[in-house]
Amino acid sequence: MTALTKDRATPYREGVEIDYPVAANAKIYAGSLVCLNTDGYAVPAADTASYLLAGHAQQQVDNTGGANGAKTIRVRRKGVFEFQATSITQAMVGSMMYVKDDQTFDNTSNNLVPCGRLVKYISATKGQIDIEPATLGTYNISVDGDIDVLANLT
């Protein structure tokens, strides 16, 4: 591809809601957290290595018996959503939270799949998370300047 030599009409959308192809044999419930697996297909969120948060499911999609991409799901990538938590505290407000399953988060997990920042503590087992930081990529910058990528841009 070469550089432009004339004006270009560039397709545009806000990107708040995105349609993703659903993984084979996956059933995703409306209102749940959704991840992308290593092949780029939507799956119910889980604490699984290399999963990336896609967002919040806007509908239920049942691809049981279907091939990869046989169905699509609309996912909302921005917003503050209330989910169950494993064990959180008021002191954790502002901290990155991590996926435990498709409806549960915590301040830590085995595979550290980010799902957003805790913005409102409701109880030790419930809170509201802003998912946008997780769907746009999360980075830790250490004192020595190293950058650790916790999630790729989606």
Percentage with pLDDT > 70 across the chain: 88
Q: Do the strands 52-57 and 33-36 form a parallel or antiparallel pair, or are they unpaired?
A: antiparallel
Distances (CA, A) of 11 to 14, 61, 64, 123: 11, 27, 33, 43
Residue 54 belongs to some domain of the structure: yes
Please provide the average confidence, as pLDDT, over all residues in the chain.
90
Task: Report the distance separating Cα 141 and Cα 148, nearest Å.
Answer: 6
Q: How many alpha carbons lie under 13 Å from residue 71 in its C-beta half-sphere? A: 18
pLDDT digits (tens, 9 = 90+) for 28-42: 999 999 999 999 999
Q: Which residue carries 């917003």 as its tokens?
A: 79
- pTM for the model stands at 0.84
* Claim to verify: residue 22 and residue 72 sit in the same structural domain: yes
3-class SS of residue 148: strand
Q: Where are the alpha helices (DSSP H) in 81-147?
A: 132-135
Same domain, 72 and 27: yes
150 found inside a domain: no
Domain-embedded: residue 32: yes
Q: Are residues 85 and 72 in the same domain?
A: no
Please report whether residue 125 resides in a domain.
yes
Only one residue has tokens 């049942």, namely 62
Say yes or no: 123 and 92 in one domain.
yes
SS3 59: coil
Task: Look at the chain and report how many structural domains it folds into.
Answer: 2
pLDDT band at 136 (very low <50, low <70, confident <90, very high): low
| Full domain range(s) for residue 67 | 18-76
Residues 27 and 72 placed together within one structural domain of the fold:
yes
